[in-house]
Structures are given as structure tokens and as C-alpha cells.
Chain A
Amino acid sequence: MTTKTWRLFWGSGPARIPLQNGVGRYVQQLQRITFKFCKTHGGSLGMREYIEKDLVEFARQNPGVVVYLKPRRHRSPCLKAEYLNGEDDYISTQKHTCEDIQKWVEYLRCRSGYPVEHLINYHHTDHPSIQGPWTPWLHRDHKLNVAQYPNEELSTAHKLEKTATEELMELYEKQKMLTEMEKTS
């Protein structure tokens, strides 16, 4: 049985990061969010308060997210979020307070579009790493951190094999070292 089948059946599986999001750069997965509310009905009071007070701030802090407002008469208020992988999420905010809606919007902002799953992990340790886990930049040269681009040195082609000249130089240096060691001993 594959992990895919297990996930479909049980709705649970090991932790995963789709497309390695966050390993290098983090891309916010929320694409658009729709606030649907009624302008007069009491159940949309919290929603109207949120729109008046906190919506503009939210839109400024998340420039990658498209915000839609849908005032519809005689309809209960809701939040509809759509994600980059095509999935969407619906939350009814009928009779919610402004603070509740703030929290739900924050929840939708931080989600990936993948369905909510119970995480399975058969191992547990309080101290998984002492040196710190591997990152793609761990074994790379530190000068990359302070490099100014465009950079001629870093734009050169990668050398896959040693040239004959380099090998001869290395042999020469090895021989020199050996002769020196013989002399001292």
C-alpha cells in the first residue's frame, strides 16, 4: 500500500512539505480570500467591524493575496479562501465577533491548501539533532553570503574534472613534501 492510498483512506500520514516550500524561500500559499456579508443583518456585525477596522491592514501586510468583498443581501457571512494548488476552504462567520474573524483569517492565511491531516510519526525523540539539521547551504562557501552580484568569479563554469596542469602541480607539491619529510627525519 502506498502512502497516497493510506492518506486517502485514513486521512493521515507522515509530515510533508509540498515542493520544499520554506527550505529555500517561503511562498505564501493563499491566493485569494473572499469576504461575503450582509450590510444590514445582525449576523454580519462582526464581519462588518472587521472590514472597517482590520481589513486594510491585512491587505497591506499580504500583498500577494487578492481580497474580494461580496456584500449580498439576506445571505449569512462567510470566508472563502483559495490556494495556489487549487484547493479551497469555506468558513461560516455567522454571528462571529470581530476577534473570531481575525483569528479565522489568520488561520486561512497560514494554511497550505492541502487537506488537514492527522500526522503520523512512529519515532519520537526530544533531541533529534545536536549540530543542527542539514541545510542546502551548510557545506557551501561562506563568501556566498556576502557576495555582490553580478560576480565574475562565481559566474564561471563549474570545473568537473581536474586539468592535466593541475594534476602535475599537485604531484609536484606532494613530491616536495615527501622529500622535506625525508630530510627532517
Chain B
Amino acid sequence: MVITSPTLLARSRGADKYWKQRRILRLSAHYYGRRQNCYSIAIRSVRRALQYSTLHRRLNKLMYKTLWEGRINASCQELGTTYNDMYATMDQAGIALDRKILQNLAIWEPRSFRALALLTKAKQEEEGLNSLDGPVPAGVVTRGML
């Protein structure tokens, strides 16, 4: 005779907790105190750390952008222009160098950067940037008053 009732009392209690906790504790290995070894304390810090990392992916890009702009601005001011003028004029001239490359040129290839700055200075006179001479920009209605 086969007794079948014991198998009906078996319950599935869930996944193995050890491996779930291991995944979290691996991320908290460099924390201070109990936060590195005790799961219920570590999970709070790790969740916050992960939230920060997702939010700061965007901030990282902004941080680098401001850093590069500051560097390019400094090099431009030494050569007699400003970052805004140079970047706008390069756009008009069709030179598609981004901020990362420009700041690298300014530091490591300063003569090339100087050539670009002088080019933009000459071009912006042609385009009439920062002056009342030169062609009127497209889309501006003056009715002959300017």
C-alpha cells in the first residue's frame, strides 16, 4: 500500500535566500562596520547607492561638460576670444569638434587650438558677430531700421 498524503504536506517556501543576500553583500564589501556584513543593514545602504548611481549618470555628463567648457573658455581668453563666440563661430564655419576634443587640443596640442581660435576670430568678423556690420541673421525682421 502506498501512502500518498505526506507529499501533499510539502510546501515550496521560496528561493534560497543565501544567494539573494550574497548579491547585495558583494556590493557592500567596502562599506564601514556592520553595513558590509549584515544583510538587513546593508540593503538600505546598497539601495541608496544604486539610486545615486542611476541619478548621477546624468549629472556626470553635466559635470564633464562644465569642466570642459571652463577649460576651453580659459584657453580662449588667453587668445583673445570667449568660449561662446568660438563655439558659435565654429558651428557656422562647419567645424564639428566637440568640447572633449577641444579641451584636449587646448591642453596637449596648444598650437592647433590657437590656429582654430584665430580662425574663429577672423570668421566672426566676416559673420558680423558682436558688431552691427555684417549680414543680418535669417529670420530677423528689421524693416530697414537697422
- Does B111 belong to the interface (CB within 8 Å)? yes
Question: B106 contacts which of A128, A130, A132, A134 (Cβ < 8 Å)?
Answer: A134
Question: B114 contacts which of A130, A133, A139 (Cβ < 8 Å)?
Answer: A139
Task: Report the Cα distance A139→B79, complex, angstroms.
Answer: 8
Chain A contact-residue range equals under 10
Given contacts A131-B110, A133-B107, 10 further A-B contacts (CB under 8 A): A129-B109, A130-B109, A131-B108, A132-B110, A133-B108, A134-B106, A134-B108, A138-B111, A139-B79, A139-B114
- Which residue from chain B places its CB closest to the CB of A140 in the assembled complex? B78
Chain B residues proximal to chain A, CB less than 8 Å: 75, 78-79, 106-112, 114
- Which residue from chain B places its CB closest to the CB of A174 in the assembled complex? B125
Task: Report the Cα distance A172→B78, complex, angstroms.
Answer: 28
* Nearest-Cβ distance from residue A183 to partner chain B, whole angstroms: 22
Question: A139 contacts which of B107, B108, B110 (Cβ < 8 Å)?
Answer: B110
Point out the residues of chain A lying under 8 angstroms from B112, CB to CB.
131
- Find out whether the CB atom of B107 lies under 8 angstroms from the CB atom of A131: no
* Nearest-Cβ distance from residue B140 to partner chain A, whole angstroms: 25
Task: Report the Cα distance A131→B114, complex, angstroms.
Answer: 12
User: What are 21 contact pairs spanning A and B, CB under 8 A?
Assistant: A129-B108, A129-B109, A130-B108, A130-B109, A131-B108, A131-B109, A131-B110, A131-B111, A131-B112, A132-B110, A133-B107, A133-B110, A134-B75, A134-B106, A134-B108, A134-B110, A138-B110, A139-B78, A139-B79, A139-B110, A139-B114
Point out the residues of chain B lying under 8 angstroms from A132, CB to CB.
110
Task: Report the Cα distance A128→B110, complex, angstroms.
Answer: 12
Task: Report the Cα distance A129→B75, complex, angstroms.
Answer: 17
- Which residue from chain A places its CB closest to the CB of B79 in the assembled complex? A139
* Nearest-Cβ distance from residue A8 to partner chain B, whole angstroms: 12
Point out the residues of chain B lying under 8 angstroms from A134, CB to CB.
75, 106-108, 110
Point out the residues of chain B lying under 8 angstroms from A131, CB to CB.
108-112
Point out the residues of chain A lying under 8 angstroms from B106, CB to CB.
134
Task: Report the Cα distance A132→B79, complex, angstroms.
Answer: 18
Within A114-152, the residues touching B (CB, 8 Å) are: 128-134, 138-139
- Which residue from chain B places its CB closest to the CB of A1 in the assembled complex? B52
Within A135-177, the residues touching B (CB, 8 Å) are: 138-139
Task: Report the Cα distance A132→B114, complex, angstroms.
Answer: 13
* Nearest-Cβ distance from residue A23 to partner chain B, whole angstroms: 13
Task: Report the Cα distance A132→B106, complex, angstroms.
Answer: 11
- Which residue from chain B places its CB closest to the CB of A9 in the assembled complex? B30
Point out the residues of chain A lying under 8 angstroms from B108, CB to CB.
128-131, 133-134
Point out the residues of chain B lying under 8 angstroms from A130, CB to CB.
108-109
Point out the residues of chain B lying under 8 angstroms from A128, CB to CB.
108
Task: Report the Cα distance A128→B75, complex, angstroms.
Answer: 18
